[in-house]
Every structure is written in structure tokens, then in C-alpha cells.
């Protein structure tokens, strides 16, 4: 028998707000306008604790720059109490650019230039500083590293003609050096009051980056430091789309080519597979030495929309309703999605055999569950869930149990859609 146990998922508790249910536009990260000044001032006036952007000064002298040559940046909220020596590094996501024109376009957005990044961010979910929102990591040093290289922090080249910089790997390195200098090196000196711990996490393209950099992160910290990695919505599958093609593989091939990634990908993988395959986590996760947790929906809404049924693969638009709202899929479409779920479970087989790894694969139509408060942890569970014998298990509890070794073998794969009635499925307009 496989070492996974099935359970009735409690992915989102029904008493939480439904604010996260509806998202407008595509999830490519371009829909959000830049924070406007009036709104910003109102927030300050209402004393909301927003975390400011810090640029990494001097990173440019190491060639560590965003696509447009501007400095990379991060947001840091300091830890306190027993968490003062513990560090959560969360890598921002936001798709990829896969050809010169899409990379040049990114230079005019926050995904490719720190000129356009929000000056402050609301730290919620795994980044929250409140125990009732984030029971295990609230008092750690919490960092969100901004994503502005277009290739999951992994490129190292540049295009002279268009003056575009593909320096994700250098951004990763410069950021790690910066975090060491602002206190993460203290993770080396154990102290009587605060234990020494670190977690590398990330969502979407940042979840992929957390997979790509997990062992490197481990190597940068002393052996005495407890180090683990979490990938949220980073399990992008090399799947066949609704037209029989491979949309995501084509896109990844573009990313690998435009950023000249083959030399920067894991050689253990490129020794036996083509470079594009080595950007797919299914070919990487079982070789990661550091303990790793994969949090993903088996019906990841980004993958359904952009990998399985992107518009070019669906010229007649027959998937429009289904990919915007999973409850509107017809039976043959649902069957297609069930096959995708099976592929997901299969791809995790050897990863899940390792007792140090963790899994939370639920069946909600969603993408990125660690940063959004409702999907990470809400303090009130519904009556039904409190009575349940197997649960209640929220995402934050699963990740915490695994990180702190409170439970052996944290591996949860939910039953197929639509069995989980507590999901807040995303609806796209
Ligand atoms: C570049 O990629 C985008 C998708 O990211 C696509 O829409 C566009 O057609 C591509 N351009 C070229 C020149 O291939
Ligand atoms: C920040 O996020 C929390 C939790 O989702 C929310 O309650 C709060 O209103 C947000 N604050 C701002 C200023 O957006
Ligand atoms: C479901 O939608 C597909 C298009 O994806 C269509 O070809 C098929 O006929 C529909 N099936 C039913 C049972 O309505």
C-alpha cells in the first residue's frame, strides 16, 4: 500500500469570509494596479501593519538585478520571543516570461522591475504575525522575496540587444547574502532562548523556485540549524492539454531558451533528461535531500486555466465555463480533470515514500493556499469539522505538524472532487 492516507479534507473552513472566492481576470499576476498614494496614506492612518519594501543595495554590483536592471527587493517583518532566531523565506510567484517580447513587457510591471513594486504588503497567512492566523510561524522573522526575473529565480544571462537581464540566480544569491547580513547568520549561534530554525517557502512560480533552491538553502545554513522547504502550488505537471498538445511544456521550453537555463538547472537531472524536463518539478522532487512539503490542489486552478485549457488549445472556447468555475464542467470535462488528478498523485509516488517529506493535496479549485488567510488557517472551525474524527486538519496545522515533527508521516491526499464540501472554489470572471 502507498504511504498516503485518505481523508475528508478541511481545506477551507466554512466560517471564514468568502472574500477570496472570486478573482477577476487571469492569474498571470498582471491584473493588480500599482498601489495608489491615497489608499496608501489611508492605510497608514488606520495603523494597519503593512510591511515595507527594502531594496537590496549593492546587488547591482553583483549583477543581481530585475529584468529591467533595477534592484531586487524584499519585505521583512522581524521575529520576536522564541521565534527571534528562526527565519521563514517566502518566494513570491507570478508566472514566467517565455520569449523576448513577454520578458521585455515584464520590465514595465512589478514582475520585472522594482520601480513598479508595491511599497508595502499586507502579511497574511503563513506571513502573518498573529498566532490566531499563523499558529507556528507568527513570531519568526518572516521575509517575502519579490519575484522580478521571470524564471523562478534561476536564470543567469542577459540579452544585450534589448538590455534585458535574466539574473534570477544572482538575485537568489544576493538575497541570501542580504538575509545573512540582516540576522540570518545568527541562526548559526544557538542561544538559550530561541531555537534555530529555517523554512524556505514559495507560491506558484515561487513554489517551483523553492523546489529548485531547497538544497542550496540547506547548504547555506549550519548543520545544527533545522532546515526544511515548502512548495505551495509549485507542482506544475508536464501534462497533455485539451487539444492533445503540451502547452506548459512549450511555455517552459521558451523560458529555458530565452533565459538560457540549461547550464543553471540541476545537473543530476540534465544528465539524463532534456533541460525543459528539468524545469518540471516531477523530475526533481524525489532527488531533493532536504525535507520538503508539497501543498497543492489536485485541480490547481492555474494549471487548469493555463496548462490544460489555455485559449490556444481551446479555439472554440468550449472550456470557458468549466475553467472559470469548476461546478460548470460537464461530465467529460470533469473526467479530463480526474485524469489530471491521477497524474498528480502518480507523480508524487516516490516523493511521498520518503518519511521526511510531507504532502497536502486537496481537491479545491484553487491556486496558492499558504498566503491567503482563509485557506491557510482560520481560527474558527465549523461544528461539523470539530466533530469529525479524522480532522480537523487545516493547511497550517499539517505544515506545522510536519515541520515540528509532531506527527509521523504527514501525507494527506484528498478524495476526488466534489467530495470536499468545505472548499471555497475560485470563480474567475
Ligand atoms: C510570446 O509568449 C506569449 C505568451 O507568454 C505569446 O502570447 C506570444 O505570442 C509570444 N510571442 C512570440 C513572438 O512568440
Ligand atoms: C490584511 O489582511 C487581513 C487578513 O486577511 C485582513 O483582515 C486585513 O483587512 C488586511 N488589511 C489590509 C490593509 O488590506
Ligand atoms: C462537454 O463539453 C465538451 C467540450 O469540452 C463537448 O465536446 C461535449 O460534447 C460535452 N459533453 C456533454 C456530455 O455535454
pLDDT digits (tens, 9 = 90+) for 258-303: 999 999 999 999 999 999 999 999 999 999 999 999 999 999 999 9
Average pLDDT over every residue of 72-87: 96
Centre of ligand 1 from the C-alpha of residue 319, in Å: 21
- pLDDT given for residue 69 in this prediction: 98
Centre of ligand 3 from the C-alpha of residue 334, in Å: 10
Centre of ligand 3 from the C-alpha of residue 326, in Å: 14
Within 8 A by CB and 6+ apart from 98, the residues are 251, 252, 253, 254, 255, 258
Q: Identify the DSSP state of 306.
A: I
Partners of 54 in beta bridges? 74
204 is catalytic: yes
- Average pLDDT value over all residues in the chain: 87
Q: Which of 315, 318, 338, 340 to mutate to test the pocket of ligand 3 (most atoms within 8 A of CB)?
A: 318
Domains of the chain: 5-428 (3.40.50.1820)
Spatial contact of 293 and 359, defined as CB atoms under 8 Å apart: yes
Partners of 86 in beta bridges? 197
414 is catalytic: no
Q: Note the Cα 407 to chain centre separation in Å.
A: 24
Q: What percentage of the chain has pLDDT greater than the value 70?
A: 83
Partners of 200 in beta bridges? 89, 229
Q: Is the previous residue joined to 392 through a cis bond, with omega within 30 degrees of 0?
A: yes
pLDDT at 236 over 90: yes
- pLDDT given for residue 421 in this prediction: 84
Spatial contact of 247 and 241, defined as CB atoms under 8 Å apart: yes
**Of the bound ligands, which one is closest to the alpha carbon of residue 336?**
3
pLDDT at 73 over 50: yes
Partners of 202 in beta bridges? 91
Does the Cβ of 318 fall within 6 Å of ligand 3? yes
Residue with cell 512560480: 205
**Of the bound ligands, which one is closest to the alpha carbon of residue 241?**
3
Does the Cβ of 46 fall within 6 Å of ligand 3? no
- pLDDT given for residue 36 in this prediction: 40
374 is catalytic: no
Cβ of 26: how many Cβ atoms within 10 Å?
A: 15
Average pLDDT over every residue of 86-110: 98
Tens digit of each residue's pLDDT (9 = 90 or more) over 327-338: 999 999 999 999
Does the Cβ of 330 fall within 6 Å of ligand 3? yes
pLDDT at 77 over 50: yes
Q: Identify the DSSP state of 338.
A: H
Dihedral pair phi/psi, residue 396, rounded to 5°: -60, -35
- pLDDT given for residue 24 in this prediction: 38
Tens digit of each residue's pLDDT (9 = 90 or more) over 112-160: 999 999 999 999 999 999 999 999 999 999 999 999 999 999 999 999 9
C-alpha cell at 413: 491526499
Angle at 156 between CA 155 and CA 158, to 5 degrees: 105
pLDDT at 188 over 90: no
Does the Cβ of 332 fall within 6 Å of ligand 3? yes
Tens digit of each residue's pLDDT (9 = 90 or more) over 350-389: 999 999 999 999 999 999 999 999 999 976 554 444 444 3
Q: Would you place residue 9 in the very low, low, confident or very high pLDDT band (cuts 50, 70, 90)?
A: very low
Does the Cβ of 408 fall within 6 Å of ligand 3? no
Q: E strands along 284-393, which residues?
A: 292-297, 358-362
pLDDT at 19 over 50: no
Amino acid at each position: 500500500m502507498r504511504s498516503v492516507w485518505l481523508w475528508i479534507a478541511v481545506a477551507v473552513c466554512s466560517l471564514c469570509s468568502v472574500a477570496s472566492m472570486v478573482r477577476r481576470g487571469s492569474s498571470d499576476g498582471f491584473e493588480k494596479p500599482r498601489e495608489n498614494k491615497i489608499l496608501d496614506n489611508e492605510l497608514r492612518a488606520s495603523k494597519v501593519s503593512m510591511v515595507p519594501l527594502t531594496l537590496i543595495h549593492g546587488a547591482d554590483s553583483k549583477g543581481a538585478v530585475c529584468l529591467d536592471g533595477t534592484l531586487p527587493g524584499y519585505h521583512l517583518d522581524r521575529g520576536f520571543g522564541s521565534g527571534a532566531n528562526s527565519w521563514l523565506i517566502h518566494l513570491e510567484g507570478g508566472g514566467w516570461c517565455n520569449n523576448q517580447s513577454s520578458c521585455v513587457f515584464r520590465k514595465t510591471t512589478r514582475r520585472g522591475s522594482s520601480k513598479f513594486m508595491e511599497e508595502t504588503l499586507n502579511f497574511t497567512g503563513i506571513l502573518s504575525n498573529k498566532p490566531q492566523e499563523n499558529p507556528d510561524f507568527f513570531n519568526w522573522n518572516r521575509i517575502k522575496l519579490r519575484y522580478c526575473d521571470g524564471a523562478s529565480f534561476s536564470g543567469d544571462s542577459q540579452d544585450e540587444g534589448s538590455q534585458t537581464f535574466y539574473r534570477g540566480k544572482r538575485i537568489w544569491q544576493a538575497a541570501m547574502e542580504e538575509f545573512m547580513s540582516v540576522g540570518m547568520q545568527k541562526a548559526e549561534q544557538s542561544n538559550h532562548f530561541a531555537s534555530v530554525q529555517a523554512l524556505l517557502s514559495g507560491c506558484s512560480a515561487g513554489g517551483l523556485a523553492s523546489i529548485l533552491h531547497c538544497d542550496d538553502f540547506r547548504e547555506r545554513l549550519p548543520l545544527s540549524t533545522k532546515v526544511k522547504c515548502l512548495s505551495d502550488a509549485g507542482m506544475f505537471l508536464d501534462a497533455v492539454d485539451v487539444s492533445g498538445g503540451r502547452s506548459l511544456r512549450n511555455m517552459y521550453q521558451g523560458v529555458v531558451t530565452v533565459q538560457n537555463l540549461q547550464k543553471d538547472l540541476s545537473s543530476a537531472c540534465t544528465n539524463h533528461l532534456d533541460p525543459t524536463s528539468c524545469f518540471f518539478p516531477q523530475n526533481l522532487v524525489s532527488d531533493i535531500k532536504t525535507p520538503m512539503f508539497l501543498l497543492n490542489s489536485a485541480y490547481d486552478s492555474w494549471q487548469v486555466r493555463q496548462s490544460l485549457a489555455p485559449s490556444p488549445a481551446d479555439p472554440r472556447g468550449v472550456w470557458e465555463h468549466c475553467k472559470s468555475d469548476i461546478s460548470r464542467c460537464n461530465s467529460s470535462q470533469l473526467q479530463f480533470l480526474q485524469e489530471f488528478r491521477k497524474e498528480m498523485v502518480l507523480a508524487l509516488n516516490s516523493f511521498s515514500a520518503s518519511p521526511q517529506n510531507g504532502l497536502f493535496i486537496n481537491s479545491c479549485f484553487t491556486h496558492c493556499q499558504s498566503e491567503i488567510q482563509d485557506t491557510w488557517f482560520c481560527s474558527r472551525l465549523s461544528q461539523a469539522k470539530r466533530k469529525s474524527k479524522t480532522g480537523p486538519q487545516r493547511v497550517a496545522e499539517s505544515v506545522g505538524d510536519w515541520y515540528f515533527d509532531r506527527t509521523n508521516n504527514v501525507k494527506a491526499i484528498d478524495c476526488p472532487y466534489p467530495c470536499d464540501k468545505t472548499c471555497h472554489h475560485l470563480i474567475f470572471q
